């Protein structure tokens, strides 16, 4: 089932307009956070920090999608059984 959700996420959801807009907002927030933190860091450290924050965000979005799909599917099955 996870492979099915991965396929949906990677091939469809990731390219949806709403997802792209949310992704842009997240990227702006990351840039703002790094900018505040950046006064004390080297350029290399800032790029590493940005990369780490982007990766955390991507994992969170993906896992959140999987969790939501499992929850929706479970709810649908319970609805059908009631």
Residue numbers of the domain that contains 37: 2-81
In tens, the pLDDT along 37-51 reads: 766 778 888 888 889
Q: In the prediction, which pLDDT does 8 show?
A: 85
Distance separating alpha carbons of residues 33 and 57, to the nearest angstrom? 13
- Model confidence, pTM: 0.71
Q: Whole-angstrom Cα distance, residue 18 to residue 27?
A: 14
Number of domains observed in the structure of the chain: 1
> What is the chain's pLDDT, residue by residue, as a tens digit (82 residues)?
678 888 888 888 888 888 889 889 999 998 888 887 766 778 888 888 889 999 999 899 888 898 898 889 889 999 899 8
2 closest CA partner among 53, 55, 65, 48: 65
């Amino acid at each position: 089932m996870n492979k099915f959700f991965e396929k949906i996420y990677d091939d469809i959801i990731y390219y949806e307009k709403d997802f792209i807009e949310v992704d842009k907002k997240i990227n702006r927030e990351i840039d703002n956070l790094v900018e505040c933190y950046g006064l004390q860091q080297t350029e290399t450290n800032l790029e590493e920090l940005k990369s780490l924050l982007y990766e955390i965000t991507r994992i969170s979005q993906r896992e959140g999608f999987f969790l939501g799909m499992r929850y929706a599917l479970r709810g649908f099955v319970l609805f059908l059984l009631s």
